[in-house]
Structure formats: C-alpha cells, structure tokens
Structure 1
Amino acid sequence: MRSVIMDALGEISGRAKEINLIDLLTRDIVDLIGAHLDLFRRNQAAIGVDVMATLSTEERDERLKHHLIASKELHPALISPESEYKVLQQLVGGVLAIVLRPREAQCPLVWTIAREIVTCLVMQPLINLASPA
C-alpha cells in the first residue's frame, strides 16, 4: 500500500511539474474565478441583494446552497459528507487507474482496497486540513 501511495504522489508530482504556470495563473485561474463570481451574482440576484445583506454568513450559505441545488449547479461533493466521500473515491479511482501496475489494476480486491486506503488515509485528512468545516 505504501508503494501505491508513493506511486500516486509521484504521478501527481510529475504532472504538476508539466503545468504551464503562466497560462494557469493568467488565463485558467482568472476564468475559473470569473465563472464562480458570475454564478454567485446570479444566485445573489435570485435571492435578492437586500435580503443577502441582512443574513448571517451561515444563513447566506444555506440560501445559496438551496438555490444552487435547485438550479443543479451545486458541485456533488458539497451536497453531503457522503457525496463528498463518493467524489473523493472517484478521484482516487482515476489516479489509481493510471498509477497501478496492469496486473494490480485487473484485481478488483487490490484496486478497491487501495482506493479506500488512499481515500480514507490520504485524501480525507488533506481535505479536512484545507477546509475543517
């Protein structure tokens, strides 16, 4: 399992080195932030700017979440902790499909155990460290 985790981290590290940082920072990140701001503004307008100003942070988040669910624009990982776990499983499954040796990838038991270990012991603690809530 240690080898699988180290191989996955090595694969991610290798791909991260190939990223064009100039394009990422000047084009991709700016486009992503712009899209998120547009989404926020649309939902804020639907709720009402005056109403949003009177709500607490928690109430605002809850209203936005309900509007995003209704418009089917809420990311599946944000719906519930179970959904977050399933999304993490899918992400780890994708990484393992690349990292595992062909013989190991063909064995469902090895693939499932590796996916669960990486999801539970690596990804969930990282996500919790980045966003404890």
Structure 2
Amino acid sequence: MAIAALGTVVVDCPDPAALATFYAELLGGQTEADGEGWVELRGHGGTPLAFQAAPGHVPPKWPAPDASQQFHLDLTVEDLDAAEAKVLALGAKPLDTGDRARAWRVYADPAGHPFCLCAC
C-alpha cells in the first residue's frame, strides 16, 4: 500500500502567472491565482501543476555535469516539428534539438526549467 499519492507538481519561478500561462498554452487548461504568489494550472488532463514565486530563482543549467537540472517534464507529442514550432513561439528556448533523428528534444521554459518533447 502506498503511503501517499502525488497531488501536485510545484515549480519555483520568478513570475508564477507568466509561467502558468506558458504551460496553459502548452498543455491546455486554465490558470487560477491565489494572489499570494501561487498559480495553479487546472483542467489540462494530467497531474496538477502549480507555480510558486521564488525570489532569487536561479534557473538550472543544461547540460551541466557539475550542477543539478532540478527536474524536467517529459511531454508527449504526436508531431515533434509542429510541437517545436509552437513551444518556440510561446517563448521556449532550444537546449538540445540538433539530433533530428532522435525521438525527443530538450527545451527550456521561459523561467529556464528544462522540458522534453517526446514523440509518442
């Protein structure tokens, strides 16, 4: 028997509303702010995401064998090229996208957190 269930993945960032909007555009759903530096993404059909204000947030470095990437999200897509164009238009930055034969590509969200687009 499990001790707990995963309730929400919380992402530290400098601007919770902006980052929640980025992920709402990427995953669908609606943002809901509490006015205290916390914004939740609801209705996207996956594990709940929340974004928390973190003054002094320092984005992870990728790749950096001497530093932690903290976490990353693997997001499944049907068409890597089409999804790439859309996430770049939303403000994502490419981190590791050179090998076009590979079934995944790595990007950073606007706050610098890495995420992968993975072909399903």
- Work out which structure has the larger RCO, using CA pairs closer than 8 Å and 6 or more positions apart in sequence: 1
Do Structure 1 and Structure 2 share a fold, with TM-score over 0.5? no
| Higher radius of gyration, 1 or 2 | 1
TM range (shorter): under 0.3
Instruction: Give me the TM-score of the superposition, normalised by structure 1.
Output: 0.22
Instruction: Give me the TM-score of the superposition, normalised by structure 2.
Output: 0.24
